[in-house]
Structure 1
Amino acid sequence: MTGPSGMPGGKKPPLRIVLCSPRGFCAGVVRAIDSVERALALYGPPVYVRHEIVHNRYVVDALKAKGAIFVEDLDEIPNTDAPVVFSAHGVPKSVPEAAKARNFITLDATCPLVTKVHREADIHFRRGREILLIGHAGHPEVIGTIGQLPEGAVTLIQTTEEARDFMPKDAGNLAYVTQTTLSVDDTNEIVEVLNARFPAIVGPHKEDICYATTNRQDAVKLVAPRVEAMIVVGAPNSSNSQRLKEVAERAGCPHAVLMQRAADIDWEKFGAVASLGITAGASAPEVLVEEVLDAFAQRYDVRVETMSATEETMFFPLPRPLRPSEATE
């Protein structure tokens, strides 16, 4: 099926667009981006950032244009007085130790909700518990959490199968933590398996999956069954964005796609849809959602409505050295 051409003189077909709310930036992402911008204002360029500050190419490119230099490893940074920012995903303990050894000025933009997971893991370790981390191998947040503790202290569990097969050293002395950006439903399934097998296992006092991940998934669950297609604006390496696409498919949306921006829209695949849901991952700026809306408005007679799962009021202050009161003292 081909999409409408939107040629001048041709009548545009109607399209109902349902925007998911909440969508886009969470408090941790806002804090991380503001940390880099504040560091650039205070210190001037360059400001080095270890790993993408958040997983979004548009955000990273915008900060590069202002003077941020992104590296994957501290070894890529020359000896410098310029500050080094750690990304929102968190880093292993070895990274700030290496930065200190090189006398770098460091600014930690780790999301406070990720830091909470690090602290939980540390408490379990000090209490002698064997620790399971529910998460995805290779994700920087998982690498950072495992890297808080000595090698071998944390076992990664990615699936219900791995939860069923795991053999503990002592079934009565176990704890688990989770990556903050997982599918709520997938994680619940894994936790159910662990609780059934190990009734004494200790979990978080409050779940580790962050409020923003949960809220965005809840909004998609509301909208997905009511539309013919769903667009998730976000990066392919963004865990929470990938989960939103999966949630939309599971909730009954026949066609869900993850895309970075309007230029990625494959008009052939959308065909003559009459209803479309749009959401955005927690690291995707609203300007990219507006760009997608504009692209559809050029081809369709668009009617936009918003469906809300909840209101968000969460706010995280900047890292202490970047707060105005600290910077002026």
Structure 2
Amino acid sequence: MTAPVTLAAINHWFGEHHALRDVDLAIEAGEYVTLLGPSGCGKTTLLSVMGGFIAPARGKVLIGGRDMTHVPPAKRPTTTVFQDYALFPHMSLRDNVAFGLRMAGMGRAERRAKALEKLALVGLDTAADKRPHELSGGQRQRVALARALAVDPDVLLLDEPLGALDLKLRRAMQDELKAIQRQVGTTFVHVTHDQEEAMAIADRIVVMNAGRIEDQGPPARIYRQPATLFAADFMGEMNHIPARATGAGVETPFGPLPVVAPRPGKAVLCIRPEAIGTGDGAVRIGLARVRDAAFFGTHTRAHVVPETAPDLVLVAHLPPAQVPAPGDTLILSASADTVSVFAAED
């Protein structure tokens, strides 16, 4: 089962704190959406509004075209998976997964069969008789996911579900989550503060800041062509280069660039470290001195100082076979499609 979600002009306050500010968001049925942003940006509050744990002060929540704004969580076609799993320690995995079905009045044989089906979906059907304490963190998270899916929700809400896992296990679970979502076709809305996690699993990323949506779109577009300076900075590392926008393009320390500028005046030219290289790109940075460099396995991370801007230090990710020594000089450039320009804040 699956359904679209529409949030219309959502506002909410905690005392005097304006936690959500005029949030409009349409999520398609079967879409995997991540709400991404720093702590306190409103992403968990927005997820709680979708799940019915918080009634917004203003605005509407529609799920499957039905107004759910003031419908309690138990009566919504949603379930939520939390970071702490919330499994019953005295129950077997089968009984944990079947718990929601039991509360719904499903017969014992039917709910046990369905619990085994969902445990098989997450690769744990052979461990059905075990207790949660016998499992690893990743396995317990799979059980929590199976339990949430057992009640056939139209929308599955995930609140930092992988936050307690180590890096290797978290990456493995990211792949599993996306594979399971594709298999069941349910709408997934996933809260995270991890940019790599969002890009790995989402059909669409919604970047939030101070209770507002800063940007939203496919991961590649959000990363390569962010709509705002905040989104550009939050989605990975970014070089900031002072510039001035003119009617013809942008004046930079490296010379004029024929790129689109927001408006005439002070501007910030943004280039990601991996976009800077020694190839022949359209954005010519020119001669630069290496201040230091370190091998990172997949790339060499170098701090470089352009000859035309001696007060500017850029971060460049060079090929792993290229480890320059401090004091070496390189001729650097970047491709034009990796450059973003934003109006400078006064």
Question: What TM-score do you get using the length of structure 1 for normalisation?
Answer: 0.27
Q: Quick check: which has more Rg, 1 or 2?
A: 2
Which structure has the highest helix share of the two? 1
* RCO comparison, higher one (Cα < 8 Å, 6+): 1
Which structure has the highest strand share of the two? 2
